[in-house]
Amino acid sequence: MNARRRVGALALLACAAFGAADSTAPVPPGGRSVLDAHNCYPYNGRWKDRLERALKTGVPIAIEQDLLWYTDPKTGASRSVLSHGAPADGTEPGMREYFFEYIRPIMEAALERGNRGDWPLITLNLDFKSDEPAHHAAVWKLLGDYQAWLCTAERSADPGQVTPIQAGPLLVLAGDADSQERDFHDIVPVGGRLRVFGAVHRIGDDPSADPKRMIATPATNYRRWWNNPWTVVERGGQQKAREWTAQERKRLESLVQYAHKSGLWIRFYTLNGCPAGIDEQNGWEPEYNFGTPERVDERWLAALNAGVDFIATDQYEEFAKIRAAFISRPSLLGPH
């Protein structure tokens, strides 16, 4: 069985476990591969168009937003801001104005059409740079203001019982921190609705490790995805990568297959490829750079062929072109 057929078979299994046979369920693990727009927010007033650029590539799409809890030194008031890390200066936007209100037309149009078959249209990936309880509480309250848009699931009494997700046009994911599980899951009364879904704990980055030994648990009611650096595929990661080999392709496929069998969406970060210096000019991290467009193209195609759910990159438009070509003529592009 070739890689694409294996992905399809695993997606059918995930559908059964995920409740996706129900027309109210979201696209399940293995159902599609999308652009995950990495660090999709301004840095210190620069690159303000990242969200606009990402959404212009079309939906479905995932959008990463980094969040920091900022306290105004003059007033003592605190709020959540979009920032790659401390320190913040208070000029950073918040998610309400930068993200939620910007996507309102997409969400309202989706709800009016009611075509749940392609939901979620947008996956919001929350990367918390600080995990204060007050920060989590503020984000939880903000999400409540937009709950009509959200994918939600009933909180079960047994955390290991995976209840079906009811599809909305927006899916919200968070990290693997136990404090996030406490504040986004444990606070919800049994029978209440979960608004956020966390990642499973990853155990190490060894690219030779058995996938079964790389996560603490399969999907739980709260933990529904697996977030990975590229080092779990190629030893040393992007900067050490050279020729893409059949062994590395099989490694990638084995991780994806195990994730989907475990009822998990899977994400890999961050796959960029450009000449040295271009990354820093654009506010991209050099550690994620394969060094050439050819190297990253090959790995983007391999990730698409393997059925990776969320493929993170800073090169939104370039990846979108590769994905569109793959969708239109996959037989000419795979396996890779």
pLDDT digits (tens, 9 = 90+) for 143-198: 999 999 999 999 999 999 999 999 999 999 999 999 999 999 999 999 999 999 99
Distance CA 243, CA 223 (A): 34
Q: Are 226 and 276 in contact (CB under 8 A)?
A: no
Distance CA 101, CA 120 (A): 17
Q: How confident is the model at residue 331 (pLDDT cuts 50, 70, 90)?
A: low
The pLDDT > 70 percentage for the chain reads 91
What is the maximum span of the chain, computed from C-alpha positions, in angstroms?
Answer: 64
What one-character DSSP code corresponds to residue 43?
A: B
Out of 3-7, 168-172, 191-195, 311-315, least confident range: 3-7
Instruction: Give pLDDT, residue 333.
Output: 54
CATH of the domain spanning 3-323: 3.20.20
Q: Are 102 and 48 in contact (CB under 8 A)?
A: no
- What global pTM score does this model have? 0.92
Exposure of 118 by Cβ count < 10 A (0-12 exposed, 13-18 middle, 19+ buried)? middle
- Do the strands 152-154 and 165-166 form a parallel or antiparallel pair, or are they unpaired? antiparallel
Inform me whether the pLDDT recorded for 18 exceeds 70.
Answer: no
Inform me whether the pLDDT recorded for 15 exceeds 60.
Answer: no
How many other β-carbons are positioned within 10 Å of the β-carbon of residue 134?
A: 13
Instruction: Give pLDDT, residue 10.
Output: 36
